[in-house]
């Protein structure tokens, strides 16, 4: 049984560390948010999976994976119940905006045996510090990636034929979007792709039921980024809500994907970072929007950037895998100290509280 039709990552690593827009979800006054606290291995992901499974048949469930460990969940949103449950520990630390009114903290750390942890004090501290070192090393690789990817973007940006691209955006938006709007649409940011121990990975199951999927083939990033920005602006001006996914390996971040749920329409980038392919998607090839002579003049620099980025991306993934191995060692210490019967009692109490909300909405 699938946990949800809609899947995202909570965020992604950048040259400045972890980045997420999920605080926008938490600050939504219409939702009640349960913020989970507790160390690694305290059962936060398991609790989230049980919540998603419990309500997947009766609610519109959106799940958010951990980019550092895609087998773990970081958050669940139940849209009908208007409930959010999120892991609020580092690197994505969240705290209540309206404590007790719109958000509450659930501390799973209450269910560990402190004496058991203290017995392993030195080993836990050393293991956590080793994990932090691996993540710092990964951030250094991402910093180098951001410089090179941004350089490629700058070259492509200068070579763009804006008049031709603008004309294409205008024609396609007239074809796909409604003519009038009663109100301005809303823009949501959610991470469809992220750097993970599996590589740079896209959660494309989120769009598998979409009726219109366009694959944006762009080796140089700039054309698809400008297209997505312009198309998103036009869509919201015509009253449509949009979901934007950024690629965090650039500085500043570029637009990588665009979803328009009301139209069941998605624009998914395929580039040298994600190499996305989708069967039966309509291709848009961006090479035609670049000045070929300007691209040719910089071909050696572009080729160098691509080769260097391929190598750096491979190393970053390897480092994330090492960090993940160390993270599991940290979890082992906390698992030994946890009273999971009490975690299960909390989970069942939370499920009961959420079920009561359906009658109130």
Task: Estimate the share of the chain in helix, then strand, then coil, as percent rounded to the nearest 5.
Answer: 45, 25, 30
For the chain, list residues with pLDDT below 50: 1
CB 237 within 8 A of CB 181: yes
- Residues 155-192 have pLDDT tens digits of 999 999 999 999 999 999 999 999 877 789 999 999 99
Each domain of the chain, given as residue ranges in start order, spans 6-112+340-358, 139-305
pLDDT of residue 358: 80
- Residues 280-307 have pLDDT tens digits of 999 999 999 999 999 999 999 999 999 9
SS3 81: coil
pTM confidence score:
0.95
Q: Which two tokens stand for residue 29?
A: 């006054």
Q: Which residues contact 253 (CB under 8 A, 6 or more apart)?
A: 14, 19, 246, 247
pLDDT of residue 2: 65
Count of other CB atoms within 10 angstroms of residue 286: 25
pLDDT of residue 360: 65
Nearest-CA neighbor of 185 among 107, 238, 248? 238
- Residues 202-219 have pLDDT tens digits of 999 999 999 999 999 999
CB 85 within 8 A of CB 33: yes
Q: How far is 206 from 204, CA to CA, in rounded Å?
A: 5
Does the CA dihedral 96-7-229-176 come out positive or negative? negative
pLDDT of residue 179: 84
Count of other CB atoms within 10 angstroms of residue 125: 10
């Amino acid at each position: 049984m699938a946990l949800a039709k809609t899947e995202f990552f909570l965020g992604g690593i950048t040259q400045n560390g972890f980045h997420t827009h999920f605080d926008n979800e938490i600050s939504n006054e219409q939702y009640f948010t349960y913020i989970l606290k507790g160390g690694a291995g305290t059962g936060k992901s398991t609790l989230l999976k049980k919540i998603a499974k419990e309500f997947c048949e009766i609610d519109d469930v959106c799940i958010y994976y951990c980019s550092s460990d895609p087998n773990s969940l970081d958050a669940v949103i139940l849209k009908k119940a208007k409930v959010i449950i999120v892991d609020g520990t580092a690197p994505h630390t969240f705290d209540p905006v309206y404590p007790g009114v719109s958000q509450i903290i659930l501390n799973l750390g209450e269910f560990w045996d402190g004496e058991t942890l203290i017995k392993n004090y030195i080993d836990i501290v050393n293991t956590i510090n080793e994990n932090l070192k691996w993540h710092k090393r990964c951030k250094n690789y991402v910093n180098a990636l951001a410089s090179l990817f941004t350089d490629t973007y700058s070259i492509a940006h200068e070579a763009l034929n804006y008049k031709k691209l603008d004309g294409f955006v205008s024609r396609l938006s007239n074809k796909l979007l409604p003519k009038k709007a009663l109100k301005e649409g809303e823009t949501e940011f959610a991470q469809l792709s992220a750097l993970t121990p599996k590589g740079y990975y896209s959660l494309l199951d989120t769009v598998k039921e979409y009726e219109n999927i366009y694959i944006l083939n762009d080796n140089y990033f700039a054309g698809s980024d400008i297209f997505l920005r312009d198309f998103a602006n036009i869509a919201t001006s015509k009253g449509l809500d949009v979901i934007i996914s950024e690629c965090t390996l650039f500085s500043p971040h570029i637009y990588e994907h665009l979803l328009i749920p009301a139209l069941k329409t998605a624009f998914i980038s395929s580039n040298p970072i994600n190499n996305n392919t989708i069967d039966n998607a309509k291709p848009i090839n961006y090479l035609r929007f670049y000045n070929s002579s300007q691209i040719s003049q910089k071909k050696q620099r572009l080729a160098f950037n691509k080769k260097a980025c391929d190598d750096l991306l491979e190393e970053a993934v390897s480092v994330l895998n090492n960090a993940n191995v160390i993270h599991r060692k940290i979890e082992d210490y906390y698992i030994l100290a946890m009273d999971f019967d009490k975690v299960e009692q909390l989970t069942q109490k939370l499920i009961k509280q959420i079920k009561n909300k359906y009658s109130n909405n």
